[in-house]
């Protein structure tokens, strides 16, 4: 179960690019309506079908957005990180959340009821532009992923995923680029639209070949050029 925690909302708003552009007065107005929520790994932020009454923005941690198909198979649609809005379209359209969102690690969110958020959106075009840019980026990412799933090889999709994660959150070091995100083999399979056996086989081979090593705290990309060659297929 999520918990409301104590950090000052206005300070956290300054950590998010979407809100940093607001005036002090606007941030105070938003902070008065907002709460800070903390989720442990595996806790659900919202379920598919829940009424979209709140707008969430990630401050720390990561959230996976997924659907459970009629056959019981789980499909991870996207992974969101700090600064990303969660559930914005559903809240704006006043529809139920179309998928479930769950924390992948200890995660901190700013939670704003949709009415005060969208009132501010109407009066502040710069905030509307920022939200539109974030939504457009998400649509492009999803469109590219669906195109990859339609025609791309599974190993190619894996290579593109790790290159993307390395570019977005990678920490360069002497042995390679460390990605501080833990993904189980099942989560990799759900994200890539394949079986867990295929995910195990690819990651095991990459580990032996020195391409990507799995660590308890994430992944270490040790041969970026090999990933780039695989991603180009």
pTM: 0.75
Residue 32's pLDDT band, with cuts at 50, 70 and 90, is confident
What pLDDT shows up at residue 211?
Answer: 96
> For helices 196-209 and 185-192, what crossing angle results, to 10°?
110
What pLDDT shows up at residue 75?
Answer: 86
Domain range 3-149, CATH class? mainly beta
User: How many other CB atoms are there within 10 angstroms of residue 113's CB atom?
Assistant: 14
Q: Which of 34, 30, 44 is nearest to 4 (CA)?
A: 34
Q: What is the mean pLDDT of residues 71-95?
A: 84
Find where tokens 């390679």 sit. 176
Is 60 exceeded by the pLDDT of residue 200? yes
Residue 15's pLDDT band, with cuts at 50, 70 and 90, is confident
What pLDDT shows up at residue 48?
Answer: 93
Q: Which of 178, 180, 46 is nearest to 105 (CA)?
A: 180
What pLDDT shows up at residue 127?
Answer: 66
Least confident of 50-59, 80-89, 174-183: 80-89
What pLDDT shows up at residue 20?
Answer: 78
32, burial (CB in 10 Å: exposed 0-12, middle 13-18, buried 19+): exposed
User: Helix, strand, coil % (nearest 5) of the chain?
Assistant: 45, 25, 25
Residue 144's pLDDT band, with cuts at 50, 70 and 90, is low
What pLDDT shows up at residue 85?
Answer: 86
Is 90 exceeded by the pLDDT of residue 104? yes
- Domain map (residue ranges) of the chain: 3-149, 153-231
Q: What is the mean pLDDT of residues 161-177?
A: 92
Residue 150's pLDDT band, with cuts at 50, 70 and 90, is very low
- Cα 221 from Cα 179, distance rounded (Å): 8
- Cα 229 from Cα 153, distance rounded (Å): 13
Mean pLDDT of the chain: 84
Radius of gyration of the chain (CA): 19
Sign of CA dihedral 110, 51, 47, 195: negative
Is 70 exceeded by the pLDDT of residue 145? no
Tens-digit pLDDT profile for residues 50-59: 999 988 999 9
Q: Which of 124, 56, 122 is nearest to 90 (CA)?
A: 56
CATH architecture under which domain 153-231 falls: Orthogonal Bundle (1.10)
What pLDDT shows up at residue 19?
Answer: 80
Find where tokens 């970026």 sit. 224
Is 60 exceeded by the pLDDT of residue 146? no
Least confident of 12-21, 78-87, 101-110: 12-21
């Amino acid at each position: 179960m999520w918990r409301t925690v104590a950090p000052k909302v206005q300070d956290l708003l300054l950590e998010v690019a979407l809100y940093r552009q607001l005036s002090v007065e606007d941030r105070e107005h938003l902070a008065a309506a907002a709460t800070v929520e903390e989720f442990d790994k595996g806790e659900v932020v919202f379920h598919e079908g829940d009424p979209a009454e709140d707008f969430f923005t990630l401050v720390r941690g990561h959230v996976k957005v997924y659907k459970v198909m009629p056959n019981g198979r789980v499909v991870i649609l996207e992974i969101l990180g700090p600064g990303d809005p969660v559930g914005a379209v559903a809240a704006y359209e006043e529809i139920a959340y179309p998928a479930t969102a769950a924390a992948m690690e200890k995660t901190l969110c700013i939670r704003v009821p949709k009415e005060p958020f969208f009132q501010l959106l109407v009066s502040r075009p710069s905030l509307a532009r920022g939200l539109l840019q974030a939504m457009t980026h998400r649509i492009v990412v999803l469109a590219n992923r669906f195109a990859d799933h339609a025609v791309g090889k599974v190993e190619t999709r894996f290579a593109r995923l790790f290159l993307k994660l390395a570019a977005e959150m990678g920490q360069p070091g002497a042995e390679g680029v460390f990605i501080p995100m833990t993904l189980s083999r099942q989560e990799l399979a759900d994200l890539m639209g394949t079986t867990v056996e295929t995910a195990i086989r690819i990651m095991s081979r990459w580990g032996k070949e020195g391409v990507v090593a799995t660590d308890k705290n994430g992944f270490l990309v040790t041969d970026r050029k090999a990933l780039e060659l695989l991603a180009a297929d």
